[in-house]
Amino acid sequence: MTGTRVAKGGLIDRSASLNFQFDGKSYKGHPGDTIASALIANGVRIMGRSFKYHRPRGAWSGWFDDPNAIFNIRLGGDELTNCPATTTTLEDGMEARSVNAFPSAKFDIKGGLDRFHRFMPAGFYYKMFMWPDWHLFEPSIRKMAGLGKLDGHEIEGYQSDQIHDHCDLLVVGAGAAGLEAARTAAKSGMSVVLVDDHRTAGGSLYQMADVEGVCPSDWVHQALREIKAAGGRVLPGATAYGIYDHRLVAIAQERGFGLAPLLIRMRVGRCLLASGALDRPVTFADNDRPGVMSLNGAADLLARYGVLVGERLAVMAPHALAADQVALLRQGGASVEIVENIEDTPEALGGKRLRGLRANGRTYDCDTILTSAGLMPVVHLWRHAGGKLRWDDTMSCFVPDSGPDWIEAIGAANGTFELEDALAEAQAKVGLSAAPARRFAYYATPPLPVAGSMKRQWIDLLHDVTLKDIALAARENYVSVEHLKRYTTWGMASDQGKTSNVAGLSAMAAIQGKSIPQVGTTTFRPPFVPVPLELYRGVHKQQQNHPLKRLALEPQHRSAGAAMGEYGGWLRPGWYGQGEPIDIVNREVLMARGRAGIFDGSPLGKIEILGPDAEAFVNFIYYNTIKTLKPGFIRYGFMLTEGGVVYDDGVIARVDDDRFIISCSSSHVDGVNALLEGWRQDGHDPEGVFVHDTTAHWSTVTIAGPKAREILGGLDLAMELSAGEFPHMGLRETCFAGRPARVARVSFTGDVSFEVSVPSSLAPVLWDAAIAIGARHGAGPIGLEALSILRAEKGYVVIGRDTDGETMPHDLGFGIPRLKKTAAFVGDRALHNAHASREERRHFIGLDVPEGSEKLANGAHFVKKTKDGFASCGYVTSSYDSPTLGRPIALGLMDASLAREGTEVEVFHLGETRRATVTRACFFDPDGERLNA
């Protein structure tokens, strides 16, 4: 005989019926059922197969502590994997499939694996599949591992909402203690939030005949009414699954099947944990058989769902509160035999169908075995918060000990198992008073596990860890609790040791002749129960995963047919027009060299340094000497880390005595701004210098090429543009269309170049004007791809591409400040340490390839022969086919001993070796005639 639905009782709605399927068979349940309770009511006992041995398994309990009933569930075209059947609310039309079983849980083709269990003890992976090569076995083992299958179909709209919330008092658990605490607190004026993972509050109250003289349902409803009337909030179906730093509690509230749960990040003033207690299993032979269940689980299934788990029950529950639950089950119609004073190792009899229990030399005729070695407070959240545990010998369980002052456990979670005691404790703790002495003396006398039986005794049902495995771990000296856990995988499955933790500790303690506290405990970490990954994702997806910065001129670029891509955190034009990209890019390069290129330089940093100490500050920040820079002029400079490594390069413009503009790399603006502000506040007088990041305010249109001056002249900027009046590296302030404008004569292409910056709202006017005028001169827009080639032809570095995490400025050929600058600057000391001064550093070089050869591969290594083969002497950092020169060019970082012009080197890439010649890192206009024109 298996489970049945009793004629009355429970919280289900018996007036309505729900249809569902499990492993292809149809069943009925009621609103309020879980899938597991409905299956048990239908007499279904086998709900899964164990992870390793594929043994038939039934539900151990009726709520989150069940490790066995895990299903893939499909409803209305949506499918979710690995749903715990005991906590999944039944809905009409659900199709559930057991995981890790084929074709069904009842008849699984891999069930025969159990016969080979002797060859698959804990740790067998490390011992068996070694010869001839582990990788031969790996694919098969990976295929067999895991539970459940993903169907690859994404549920439309499955997105977690994530909100921040706060309260004075969070009460976790709406059983007796939690309801009482929430009611007391709300009435006192606190802002209270009460959460419970059940949709119906009440905890285990429904197992009782009455609560303070009224029926449990009425007591619960009254408490909820009073909480809400006093302004408290009640969140049903909400699991507090983790506690994080600074009193942050993570709560997942279910929204229904196919809808992602809501994530609430609750910042609390205080927290009361009324999370209840679980049954500790008794360890005995074949204790994993379907029909071996938790006593509390059985009582709860009857009280909440009107489900009687069996007709003839044998109960092993040596603790003080078992009698009440036994009485409830007898009232439900079961015949119950109590198994007391266990002196040997009991043994479950039967296979898929339980036939009895053998204990103390006697056979108990039963169809169900209910066990409880005692109650275990649910202390996980307590431990997340850093609370300590104490072993109580009388109660044979861990209870909360000392902990943070903002969180306390009450009720069963605190080892206060009796109702009146729990209610009194809850009231006292709300008021921060000491709880009155307990009137009820709870005790438990769990039988100790005894190794050596012929039949296996399960410790961890989810990972198929037995008492023999614990003994094996002890023999192999994995006696530390942390080693025991990792070696056997005890407690590492999705139930995170809820039913196996104390059983395993008890086993190791018995084997070693120690007490449980001496064995120790492992660490409890969130999440307390499995939660979908979606809970953490929310809107962190697609474009919100890494939102790109957008240009004010993006509409203009798109209208011009630009190919947009990410460059340094911005969405920028790579090239313009349709066709083969490399052909377009080459045309843009030639246009820029022959006439002019017009490109959007808006992302370049525009960080202003202002104040009487601005000059000294900028001189300190930069490697190069800046204090001699005069107003109206610009200087190229390197920003170093304190370790002397090049962090950024840029140009510094001096506007006047007390004002500089740092134009750093586009991708580094946020980092540079943070560094500047950090140095401003630490090491300088913050009242003497200020940092303003104005990058977003200004947009920049750059015009570069031989016709740049003519095009700029057409913009009517009212300024002198001749080389004499406006030399290279000069800055002018002027107006455009009646608004302030700045023109910097700087170049990243090696040709005459002007960067015109205007307020971003004016950028479209400037761009359109520049494009129109440029068209008359045969110039046009160019994108980042063409710009990359143009700068490489000139040998201009891109930090992070042509430099690595060790490159110092003297490696790039800028050695004078290191030798001559006397004022302190960031990184100065590191530039003179042994590492910076060693001879074999990597220098920045150019490379030529033999005529007719293809370009070198980016990342190709320069190699030299050693006695063991080859060694790398550097690598190619930038490599292009230069349209300007009609041949390949490359830049790289090379060991100093080879980095001399004219040296021939071998270049290795993907099995091929080629030759190249070191040259000066400047292929275009080395004397700067075009740049200074």
Partner 1 sequence: MRDDSTKWHPALGMDRHDIDTGGVRISLIHPDRMTLISGPCNAALEWSGIGTAIGWPEVASGHSYALRCRRDQILVVNGPDLTDGWHADRGLAVSDMTDGFGVVDICGGDALAILCRGTEISHEEPSRSANRAFFGYAVMIYAYDAQNHFRMHVPRQLLDGLWSLLQSFAQQASVVAEMDK
**Per rule CB under 8 A, is residue 169 in the interface with partner 1?**
no
Residue type, position 330, single letter: R
* Interacting residues with partner 1 between 258 and 277 (CB under 8 A): 262, 265, 267
Q: Are 278 and 415 in contact (CB under 8 A)?
A: no
Determine phi and psi for 442, rounding to 5 degrees: -80, 145
878 contact partners, CB below 8 Å, separation of at least 6? 788, 792, 798, 801, 802, 858, 890, 891, 892
Pick between residue 248 and residue 451 the one whose CB is nearest to partner 1: 248
Pick between residue 394 and residue 761 the one whose CB is nearest to partner 1: 761
**Per rule CB under 8 A, is residue 193 in the interface with partner 1?**
no
Size of the site for partner 1 (CB under 8 A): 60
* Given 571, 596, 598, 898, the residue binding partner 1 (CB under 8 A): 571
**Per rule CB under 8 A, is residue 872 in the interface with partner 1?**
no
Tokens of 317: 């529950």
* Given 24, 76, 431, 555, the residue binding partner 1 (CB under 8 A): 555
Binding span for partner 1 by CB under 8 A among 229-237, 528-536, 556-564, 624-632: 556-564
Tokens 């279904």 label which residue?
Answer: 44
User: Residue 631: how many CB atoms within 10 A of its CB?
Assistant: 13
* Interacting residues with partner 1 between 738 and 757 (CB under 8 A): 740
The CB-of-814 to partner 1 minimum distance in angstroms stands at 30
Tokens of 66: 């069940």
Strands 94-98 and 18-22: parallel
894 contact partners, CB below 8 Å, separation of at least 6? 842, 843, 845, 862, 873, 874, 905, 918
**Per rule CB under 8 A, is residue 614 in the interface with partner 1?**
yes
Q: Are 303 and 366 in contact (CB under 8 A)?
A: no
The CB-of-789 to partner 1 minimum distance in angstroms stands at 11
3-state secondary structure of 889: strand
The CB-of-853 to partner 1 minimum distance in angstroms stands at 22
Distance from C-alpha of 295 to C-alpha of 298, rounded to nearest angstrom: 5
Sign for the pseudo-dihedral over CA of 142, 147, 150, 151: positive
**Per rule CB under 8 A, is residue 156 in the interface with partner 1?**
no
Distance from C-alpha of 326 to C-alpha of 317, rounded to nearest angstrom: 10
Exposure string of 794-828, with b = 16+ CB inside 10 Å and e = fewer, is bbbbbbbebbbeebbbbbbebeebbeebeeebbbb
* Given 655, 737, 771, 830, the residue binding partner 1 (CB under 8 A): 655
* Given 110, 164, 475, 627, the residue binding partner 1 (CB under 8 A): 164
**Per rule CB under 8 A, is residue 731 in the interface with partner 1?**
no
**Per rule CB under 8 A, is residue 547 in the interface with partner 1?**
yes
* Interacting residues with partner 1 between 333 and 352 (CB under 8 A): none
Tokens of 291: 């029909």
* Given 317, 328, 563, 756, the residue binding partner 1 (CB under 8 A): 563
The CB-of-29 to partner 1 minimum distance in angstroms stands at 24
Pick between residue 265 and residue 855 the one whose CB is nearest to partner 1: 265
Pick between residue 262 and residue 640 the one whose CB is nearest to partner 1: 262
Pick between residue 166 and residue 930 the one whose CB is nearest to partner 1: 166
**Per rule CB under 8 A, is residue 692 in the interface with partner 1?**
yes
Q: Are 202 and 217 in contact (CB under 8 A)?
A: yes
**Per rule CB under 8 A, is residue 612 in the interface with partner 1?**
yes
The CB-of-612 to partner 1 minimum distance in angstroms stands at 7
Binding span for partner 1 by CB under 8 A among 1-9, 604-612, 716-724, 795-803: 604-612
**Per rule CB under 8 A, is residue 789 in the interface with partner 1?**
no
Closest CA to 749 of 788, 713, 799: 788
Binding span for partner 1 by CB under 8 A among 543-551, 628-636, 638-646, 815-823: 543-551
Pick between residue 562 and residue 634 the one whose CB is nearest to partner 1: 562
**Per rule CB under 8 A, is residue 532 in the interface with partner 1?**
no
Longest Cα–Cα distance of the chain, Å, equals 111
Give the number of residues written for the chain: 933
HSE-CB for 252 with a 13 A CA cutoff: 22
* Given 21, 89, 162, 903, the residue binding partner 1 (CB under 8 A): 162
Distance from C-alpha of 734 to C-alpha of 742, rounded to nearest angstrom: 6
Site track 759-778 with partner 1 (rule: CB under 8 A), x = hit = xxxx----------------
The CB-of-693 to partner 1 minimum distance in angstroms stands at 8
DSSP, residue by residue, 315-367:
EE--BTTHHHHHHHHHHTT-EEEE--S--S--EEEESSSEEEEEETTEEEE-S
* Interacting residues with partner 1 between 693 and 722 (CB under 8 A): 694-698
Q: Which residues bind partner 1 (CB under 8 A)?
A: 159, 161-166, 255, 262, 265, 267, 539, 543-544, 547-552, 554-555, 558, 562-566, 570-571, 574-575, 581-582, 585, 603, 608, 610-612, 614, 655-656, 658-659, 686-687, 690, 692, 694-698, 740, 759-762, 785
